[in-house]
Each structure stands twice: as C-alpha cells, then as structure tokens.
C-alpha cells in the first residue's frame, strides 16, 4: 500500500554546511553532487514502486492458500525483514525504539495493520487495476481530511483535483457493481482510509519513528490473520510466494521508498511511487491475462492523471517557496 511512511529529507551541503570555498568551485561541485543524488533518489523510488507493484501478479499465482493464510505468512515475512533492519539500525537499543513510539505509534501500527488486511483482500476480490487505481487516490483524500479536520489550507487546484478524482472513482465503482466486485472496491477504499488516519496521527505526533510502528503493523495484520485462519497449512509453492510478498514486495518496497526520501523531496516521492499503480495492472495483464474493463481504464486514467497533475503543481509551489525562502 502501501506505504505509509514518515517522509524525511536530508539536505546536502558543501564541506559540512558552513565552510566557504575560496576558489569559487564549491557551488559547481555541490550542484553536480545534488543532481547525481537526485537522479539516484528517483531511481530508488521507481524501484520501490516496482517492488510494490508485484503484489497482484504474485497473488494471482497462488494456488490454494486463502486470504488469511496469505496475510499471515506475508505479515510474518515483513515483520522478520523489518526487525532485521531495526536491529542493524538500533542494535542494542532496538527495544527502546519500540517503547518510544508510545500510544501514537501503536495507533499507527493498528491503522497500517488493518490497511494491510484490506489491501490483500481488495486485490483478491476485485481486479488489480481497480484496487491500485482506487488506492492511488490516497494523496487527494489526505488533502481533503487535512482541510476538513486540521483546517489546513488547500489550494483551489487541490479542491478541483478532488472533485475530478471522485468522478474517476465513480466510474470504477460503477464497474464494480456491474461485475459484482464492489466489496473489493470498498476494501480498497479501506486502504485509503487507513493511510489517511495514519497521517492524521503523525501530524500530531511528528516525533514518532515510523520503522518500529510499521513493524507493529505487521504484527497486527499477522495476529488478525492467525485468529481468522482455519489453519496455516499451505503448499511449498504458495509459501514461497507469500514470503516474497512480505520480504520483497512489501519489505523491500517499503525500505526503498524510505531510502528515496533521503535524496528527493516528499512530493517527488509521492509522484514517482505512482509507478506501482502503472505497473501492477500491466503485470497481471501480461502474466495471467487479467484485462481491466473500459470503465476501469477510464476511471483509473482520470484518478492517476489528476494525482499526477496536482502533485506536479504542488512540487512547483514547494520549489517556489524554497527559492523565496533563500
């Protein structure tokens, strides 16, 4: 989903930030380093989006495992993968890092855990295209909630984008009702709701480190699946795919997006991570001949184009603000 990270930007400075270059070459060298780092960041984020886009095709190739079994092993692999990363990052202080998240971090974990449940079943109960296009509207819903709940100022273009995106979502929901896939569409909206709820919590608790909180999300999703599953016996083939879903699709995708935020602004991360929504329907179209309907294609094109245009204008305003501050 997917993800669902606390974005951070590391700014590059010349010679540690305060040094002055007497020969006049510092600005040229710094600009070259920044350009190279920016390109690296774009590549990392695109790779993260590509990893996340594998969920649909992996799920479509699972033979007999049901949704709860898939969710349990996916969550387990994700927790193990992320816990290893936390051990590398915090070493002996890893348990302290978990305690520091407090109740806000637990709330974030619950939101993301419920979102991961909705995500898996949305992909199982509707087309991959429908699910990822609906989930792709999350940035617009986030802006709407920030406007309504936190009274944050929203640019008129953002309001127009929300209205246009609603039209696109309407087309996809109409297709879902016609094809009998409306429950999957609602679950995709559940993913959006979990993402928006998480961001609201983070706005009021900006000090939370998302890594331990996100690891807790895997525990929440896995616990729900353990309770709901009739049994956890699956074939070796299905087990391998579930483990790939947790470690590569979700785990590596999450970490690549997180690393990408060190090189490029959050607004650009949001734009380039749309590669997930573009690639996911292509993989299932090529791999299992799952072709989206015309209504889904039309609605998805409206939503993704709206998100893209709104994101580009937001990035432009962000850069103007940055230049004005300088």
- Give the number of other Cβ atoms within 10 Å of residue 272's Cβ: 21
| Tally of domains in the chain | 1
**Helix (H, G, I), strand (E, B), or coil: what is residue 261?**
coil
Residues in the chain predicted with pLDDT less than 50, given as ranges, are: 1, 3-22, 26, 29
Residue 25 falls inside a structural domain: no
pLDDT of residue 293: 85
Contact between 234 and 64 (Cβ < 8 Å): yes
pLDDT of residue 11: 30
Residue 157 falls inside a structural domain: yes
Q: What angle do CA 99, 103, 105 make, to 5 degrees?
A: 70
Distance, in Å, from the CA atom of 254 to the CA atom of 259, rounded to the nearest integer, reads 9
Residue 57 has which token pair?
């095709």
pLDDT of residue 297: 87
Residue 113 falls inside a structural domain: yes
Residue 247 falls inside a structural domain: yes
Residue 6 falls inside a structural domain: no
Residue 73 falls inside a structural domain: yes
pLDDT of residue 23: 52
Reference 234, options 80, 81, 73; nearest CA is 73
Contact between 311 and 271 (Cβ < 8 Å): yes
Residue 233 falls inside a structural domain: yes
Q: What angle do CA 318, 205, 188 make, to 5 degrees?
A: 75
Q: Which domain holds residue 267?
A: 35-325
Residue 29 falls inside a structural domain: no
- Give the number of other Cβ atoms within 10 Å of residue 132's Cβ: 30
pTM: 0.81
């Amino acid at each position: 989903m997917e993800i669902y990270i606390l974005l951070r930007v590391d700014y590059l400075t010349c010679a540690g930030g305060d040094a002055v270059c007497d020969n006049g070459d510092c600005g040229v060298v710094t600009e070259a380093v920044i350009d190279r780092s920016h390109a690296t960041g774009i590549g990392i984020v695109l790779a993260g989006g590509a990893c996340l886009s594998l969920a649909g095709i992996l799920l479509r190739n699972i033979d007999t495992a049901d949704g709860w079994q898939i969710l349990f092993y996916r969550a387990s692999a994700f927790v193990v993968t992320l816990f290893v990363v936390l051990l590398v990052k915090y070493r002996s202080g890893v348990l302290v890092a978990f305690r520091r998240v407090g109740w806000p971090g637990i709330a974030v974990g619950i939101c993301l855990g419920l979102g991961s449940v909705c995500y898996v079943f949305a992909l199982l109960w509707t087309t991959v295209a429908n699910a990822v296009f609906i989930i792709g509207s999350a940035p617009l819903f986030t802006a709407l909630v920030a406007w309504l709940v936190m009274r944050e100022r929203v640019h008129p273009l953002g309001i127009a984008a929300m209205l246009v995106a609603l039209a696109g979502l309407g087309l996809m929901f109409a297709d879902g009702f016609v094809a009998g896939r409306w429950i999957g569409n609602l679950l995709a909206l559940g993913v959006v709701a979990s993402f928006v709820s998480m961001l609201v919590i983070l706005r009021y608790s900006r000090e939370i480190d998302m890594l331990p909180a996100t690891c807790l999300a895997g525990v929440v999703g896995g616990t729900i699946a353990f309770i709901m599953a009739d049994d956890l016996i699956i074939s070796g083939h299905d087990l391998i795919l579930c483990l790939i879903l947790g470690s590569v699709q979700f785990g590596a995708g999450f970490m690549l997006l997180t690393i990408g935020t060190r090189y490029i602004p959050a607004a650009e991360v949001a734009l380039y991570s749309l590669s997930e929504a573009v690639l996911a329907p292509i993989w299932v179209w090529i791999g299992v001949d799952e072709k989206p309907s015309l209504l889904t294609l039309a609605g998805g094109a409206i939503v993704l184009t709206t998100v893209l245009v709104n994101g580009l204008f937001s990035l432009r305003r962000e850069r103007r603000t940055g230049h004005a501050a300088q």
